Amino acid sequence: MTERKTITATDAVHAGDDKFKPYDSVPTPIVQTATYTFADSAEVAAYTSGKHSNPDRGEYVRYGNPTVRAVELRLAALEGTEDAAMFASGMAAVTTTLFALVKGGQHIVLFQDCYRRTLQFVKEVFTRFGVTHTLLPAGDVAALPDALRPETRLVVSESPTNPYLSCIDLERVAAACRARRTVKSMIDATLATPVNCRPAGFGIDLVVHSATKYLAGHNDVMAGVVCGSTGLVSIVRDLRGILGGMCDPHAAFLVGRGLKTLALRVEKQNATALAVAGWLERHPRIERVFYPGLSSHATHPVARAQMRGFGGVVSFIVKGGLTAASAAVDAMKLARIAVSFGGVETLIEQPAIMSYYEMTTEQRQAIGIADGLIRLSVGVEDPGDIIADLERGLS
């Protein structure tokens, strides 16, 4: 079993870096090419028969690229898995993995609070291919064993979830899946990062990330990754070559560069978000704060047991609903209004008017999105400046 231990700053800089060195440069070079030449037909034959001395040299970029490969090996090292495959986006990683592992007539289990596009894919696209699903109430791991059927192939969850940051008991999810030989577990660990939690260490089979968020960390690139055993990842990688959601070499370079400072950034964001969450909880204009590092959070015991830090996202409800929340956000200057999270810049958004804008208040309430809800992604600015900005917004 992989170690549960989360990564250190040294790991973030060096882990997996020695596995694949296309050149002697310190950073991974960007091999910006669409295809690769062979010296002669003998080399072609060596490559296609799997006997080439450098199997990662590449044949055509949709199947592989040295920059992408180097970053994949680093990501696998950071997640403590045998292998990893990178994608053009987090959603390309999620959908390709689901298509690779599940077919018509089979069944998957998800939790109500999973990433909304993943849920939408399963509800609207996967059903067209005859894949059935069961949606469990958020965090209801106790209901998992009974939800598994003979045709169940995959259980999907996030930890922490978005925007309420609920943490799921990974060991229980993994144990329930492993009790049925045919069921694999997949955790979207975008909000956790290997600095705070490594799901594979708890027995989870596949770990996916939107690398667009913390892994890259600078709000400047889109990418995704799935990490797992050699066998599972190779099935997913083969389908990537067909569906075409391959990561671009330049995007992979930016993710790889972001990884170097992952621990520095996330440790700072953990500390700032914890301070911000505690400050908000004491503020008279705040109705409720959701942060897994606070003892008031419903999943705090689970979070404390399996996470080193609690992440850089804090969600909170402002008293006075939509208007009051908008007024607070509008009065803030440092926090920029934007969806997404995990970058060096502090971003703020109101789920009711951004991610869930097309719904009515009643529809939003039905899925638990309060009108006064604000999601704050703390950046790496000075914590005092972020709190001063919140004070400006709330006063």
Ligand X SMILES: *Cc1c(COP(=O)(O)O)cnc(C)c1O
Residues of this chain that bind ligand X (CB under 6 A): 89-91, 115, 158, 162, 188, 190, 210, 212-213, 222, 224
Q: Considering the complex, what minimum distance in angstroms separates the CB of residue 161 from ligand X? A: 8
Which residue of the chain is nearest ligand X when measured via CB? 90
CB proximity list for 114: less than 8 A, separation 6 or greater: 156, 157, 158, 161, 188
Burial class of residue 376 (count of CB atoms within 10 Å of its CB; 0-12, 13-18, 19+): buried
Q: Considering the complex, what minimum distance in angstroms separates the CB of residue 10 from ligand X? A: 27
β-partners of residue 348 are 337, 376
Closer CB to ligand X, residue 243 or residue 331?
243
Q: Considering the complex, what minimum distance in angstroms separates the CB of residue 262 from ligand X? A: 16
Closer CB to ligand X, residue 153 or residue 213?
213
Q: Considering the complex, what minimum distance in angstroms separates the CB of residue 18 from ligand X? A: 28
Backbone phi, psi, residue 330, to 5°: -65, -30
3-state secondary structure (DSSP) of residue 377: strand
Q: Considering the complex, what minimum distance in angstroms separates the CB of residue 233 from ligand X? A: 18
Q: Considering the complex, what minimum distance in angstroms separates the CB of residue 44 from ligand X? A: 35
Cβ atoms within 10 A of the Cβ of 327, count? 13
**Length of the chain (residues):** 395
Closer CB to ligand X, residue 173 or residue 394?
173
Give 124's DSSP letter. Answer: I
Instruction: Return d(Cα 285, Cα 313) in angstroms, integer.
Output: 19
Q: Considering the complex, what minimum distance in angstroms separates the CB of residue 54 from ligand X? A: 30
Q: What is the spatial order of strands in the sheet that 152-158 belongs to?
A: 83-87, 224-228, 206-210, 184-188, 152-158, 107-111, 132-136
Q: Considering the complex, what minimum distance in angstroms separates the CB of residue 46 from ligand X? A: 36
Closer CB to ligand X, residue 188 or residue 205?
188
Closer CB to ligand X, residue 324 or residue 378?
378
Closer CB to ligand X, residue 17 or residue 188?
188
Cβ atoms within 10 A of the Cβ of 391, count? 13
Q: Considering the complex, what minimum distance in angstroms separates the CB of residue 190 from ligand X? A: 4
Closer CB to ligand X, residue 148 or residue 254?
254
Closer CB to ligand X, residue 234 or residue 340?
340
**Residue-wise DSSP of 266-334:** HHHHHHHHHHHHHHHHT-TTEEEEE-TTSTTSTTHHHHHHH-SS--SEEEEEETTHHHHHHHHHHH-SS
Burial class of residue 208 (count of CB atoms within 10 Å of its CB; 0-12, 13-18, 19+): buried
Instruction: Return d(Cα 54, Cα 110) in angstroms, integer.
Output: 40
Closer CB to ligand X, residue 162 or residue 269?
162
Q: Considering the complex, what minimum distance in angstroms separates the CB of residue 339 from ligand X? A: 9
Contact predicate 205/50, CB 8 Å? no
Task: List the structure tokens of 1.
Answer: 């079993």
CB proximity list for 215: less than 8 A, separation 6 or greater: 75, 193, 209, 223, 225, 255, 258, 259, 262, 342
Closer CB to ligand X, residue 109 or residue 216?
216
